[in-house]
A and B are shown apart, each in its own frame.
Chain A
Amino acid sequence: KAGVTQTPRYLIKTRGQQVTLSCSPISGHRSVSWYQQTPGQGLQFLFEYFSETQRNKGNFPGRFSGRQFSNSRSEMNVSTLELGDSALYLCASSLGSASSYNEQFFGPGTRLTVL
């Protein structure tokens, strides 16, 4: 089975711009979660989508949004980028809900740099 794929792998943007990141989960997985990883804050949960519905949301401002399509692929959007948004954004898929006993399978991440 192919693993979780994320595109693009690297992205450089300037403050005020917006960005869209894409994630394709493992075939058959219905849950897609997004995380922000930074050296200072560690791994922070952004949101989870399950069968096209947002199931859980972390403590991030409304500039961070996402969606999931019928084929389980997911996109994450960040509007009005700030310098502090520079991070590795990880996508993870799981067979069932991430807030349960299901292990997650992570993609390689998208490294976002905001200048």
Chain B
Amino acid sequence: AQSVAQPEDQVNVAEGNPLTVKCTYSVSGNPYLFWYVQYPNRGLQFLLKYITGDNLVKGSYGFEAEFNKSQTSFHLKKPSALVSDSALYFCAVSRSSGGSYIPTFGRGTSLIVHP
């Protein structure tokens, strides 16, 4: 069975500082990895995904994520945090072609950016 772990329930960072939200995964075969963001009282919004190729993926709003196969990680990063980045972030994994694997989401990490 595939799984996703977001080891931190909450990440606090000062505005202007770099931020990292951690994600590790477990899946058989090649993973498809995603990051989504959820603002209060809203649905999830897609940020970026890794399918194959370059391990560094760039996404919306200046976010990027690095796929590390040996560490089975897909950490979300941003060089300079904004207060408006404060939200709930979800990592998700899906399976490469073959089989009927449902997308699995982590429990979410609350990012708080302090002014």
Total chain A interface residues with beta-carbon distance under 8 A: 23
Measured in the bound complex, the distance between the Cα atoms of B41 and A35 in whole Å is 15
Question: Using a CB-CB cutoff of 8 Å, which residues 63-115 of chain A contact chain B?
Answer: 90, 92, 98-101, 103-109
Q: Is the CB of A106 within 8 A of B34?
A: no
Q: Is the CB of A108 within 8 A of B41?
A: yes
Total chain B interface residues with beta-carbon distance under 8 A: 26
Q: Is the CB of B43 within 8 A of A43?
A: no
Which among A99, A107, A109 is the interface contact of B94 at CB below 8 angstroms? A99
B75 nearest CB across to chain A (Å): 19
Q: Is the CB of A56 within 8 A of B44?
A: no
Knowing A98-B102, A99-B100, A101-B32, the reply to whether A92 touches B44 (Cβ < 8 A) is yes
Measured in the bound complex, the distance between the Cα atoms of B36 and A90 in whole Å is 14
Q: Is the CB of B45 within 8 A of A106?
A: yes
A87 nearest CB across to chain B (Å): 14
Knowing A43-B90, A100-B94, A103-B49, the reply to whether A55 touches B100 (Cβ < 8 A) is yes
Residues of A within 8 Å of B105, CB to CB, are 35, 42-43, 45
Residues of B within 8 Å of A4, CB to CB, are 43
A: residues with CB less than 8 A from B are 4, 33, 35, 42-43, 45, 48, 55-56, 58, 90, 92, 98-101, 103-109
B: residues with CB less than 8 A from A are 32, 34, 36, 41-46, 49, 51, 90, 94-97, 99-108
